[in-house]
Amino acid sequence: MTKADKPKTAPIAVAAAALALSGAAAAQSPAHSSVDANGLNQMPAITVPPSSFLSPQAREAYIKATRDPRPMDPVELAPVVTQLRAGYDATLNAALERTRTLYPVKVEHDTIAGVPVEVVTPKAGVTRAKAHKVLINLHGGAFMLGGGGPGGLMEAIPVASIGGYRVITVDYRMAPEHHFPDASEDVAAVYAALLKTYKPAHIGIYGCSSGGTLTAQATVWFQTHNLPRPGAIGVLCASLSPNFGGDSAYLAPPLNGNPPPALPVKDQRWKGTGETPYMAGVDLRSPLAQPLGHPTVLAKFPPTLMITSTRAPEMSAAVYSHAQLVKAGVDADLHVFEGLWHGFAADPRLPESRDYQDVIARFFDRELKP
C-alpha cells in the first residue's frame, strides 16, 4: 500500500462513530419546500450556524471537525482494518492521556471466563457503598475498532472515577475476524462469571455507539439464555436497532459536513452498525439482533438510560426506541444533548463530555439497588 492509499484517521468526533456515511450530494434545492406524492421533501438550501447552546470548546471542536470531515465506511474499509485500527487507536490514545489526567484511576488487565478485560477502579479505591456493585462497559467502534484497551478505557475511566465504581470493560470479539453473535456470547460469559460474586440487581451494563447496540443485544441474549436481567443498562449514542432511520439519518450528515444518504433508502433506514461486517447477512427480524419491534422482549428490559444528541444520525432512532420502551412499561430515561455530534463525549476537553459522564454515573447510582 502506498502512502496515498492509506486510509485517513478521522477526528475523534467522527472516528469514534465509525459511521457509514454514503450517498451523492443533494440535487439543487428549490426556493421553497416541495413534498411529492411519496412524502419526499425537497428542501431549499439553508444556512445553519453552530448551536447557540454549545460551550466555546464544543463550538471550536465542531467547526474543526466539520470543515474537514473524513467519513469512514466500515464495509469498504474492512480489507484494511489493521491500518484503520492503528490510526483509530492513535487518535484515542491521544485523548486517553487527557482523560486519565482528568479522571485518576487504576487499570488492571485481566481475563474473565476466557475473555480479555480491563478492570478500572478509582485511584482512591471503590467506595464502601459500592463495593458490592460493578459496571460492565462495551466499547464502540462499529464492531471493528477500539478493542485491546483504548476504546473501552475512554468510556470506563470517567465513570469509574466520577461514580466510584469498579468498571470492567470487555474486549469482545470483533469483525472482520468474527461475526454476530460472537460479541453477545463474550458479554454473556463475563456477565455469568460476575454473577458468582455480584447480584444481578447490582450489575449495570453500558456502551456507546456499537457498544450501545451490543448492550441492547446482550440484554436480549440474557433473556433467551436463562440469565437474570441486570440491574440497569445504558444504550448510549445508539438505539435498540443496529440501523438508523427517521429524520436525523438524513439531516445529521449534512450538519456534520457530509452528504446525505442517497434516496431511496430501503425501509426508510440509513446505514448504521447493522451494515458493518459484524452484522453482514444477519436477519434483523430476530430480537437477538434488533430488539426494536419486539414489545414482549422490550417489556423485560431493566431500567434503561438512552443518550443521544441533535446532530447525531442515531438521534431519531434513539428517541423512537425510548418511546417504545416507555410504551412497553420500562423505566427509561432519555437525554438529548443540543447541537452535538455522534460520540462527542470521546473528547474530554468538552464541558458537555463531563455532563455526559455525570448523567451516566447518577443513573447507575439511582437504579442499582442498595
Written as nine digits, the cell of 58 is: 464544543
In a domain, 7, yes or no: no
In a domain, 31, yes or no: no
Written as tens digits, the pLDDT of the chain (370 aa) is 443 444 333 333 333 333 333 333 334 445 678 888 878 888 888 889 999 999 999 999 999 988 876 655 555 555 678 888 888 888 889 899 999 999 999 999 999 999 999 999 999 999 899 999 999 999 999 999 999 889 999 999 999 999 999 999 999 999 999 999 999 999 999 999 999 999 999 999 999 999 999 999 999 999 999 999 999 999 999 999 998 889 998 899 999 988 877 765 454 444 555 568 899 889 999 999 999 999 999 999 999 999 999 999 999 999 999 999 999 999 999 999 999 999 999 999 999 999 999 999 999 999 998 9
In a domain, 90, yes or no: yes
Count of domains observed in the chain: 1
pLDDT at position 80, please? 73
| 79 three-class SS | helix
Residue showing cell 450528515: 253
In a domain, 4, yes or no: no
d(CA 52, CA 5): 39
239's CB contacts (< 8 A; 6+ apart) are: 212, 213, 216, 292, 306, 308, 314, 317, 318, 320, 321
CATH number of 125's domain: 3.40.50.1820
Residue showing cell 470517567: 158
pTM here is 0.87
pLDDT at position 78, please? 59
Strand order in the sheet with 203-208: 105-112, 115-122, 167-170, 134-138, 203-208, 232-236, 304-309, 332-337
Residue showing cell 445508539: 238
Range of the domain at 349: 79-367
d(CA 265, CA 339): 25
Q: Are 72 and 146 in contact (CB under 8 A)?
A: no
> What one-letter code names the amino acid at 250?
Y
In a domain, 60, yes or no: no
In a domain, 306, yes or no: yes
- Within a 10 A sphere around the Cβ of 28, how many other Cβ atoms? 8
In a domain, 143, yes or no: yes
For residue 333, what are the β-bridge partners? 305
Q: Are 360 and 159 in contact (CB under 8 A)?
A: yes
Q: Are 322 and 332 in contact (CB under 8 A)?
A: yes
d(CA 160, CA 316): 29
Question: Quick one: which of 161, 7, 164 has its CA closest to 80?
Answer: 7
In a domain, 41, yes or no: no
pLDDT at position 295, please? 98
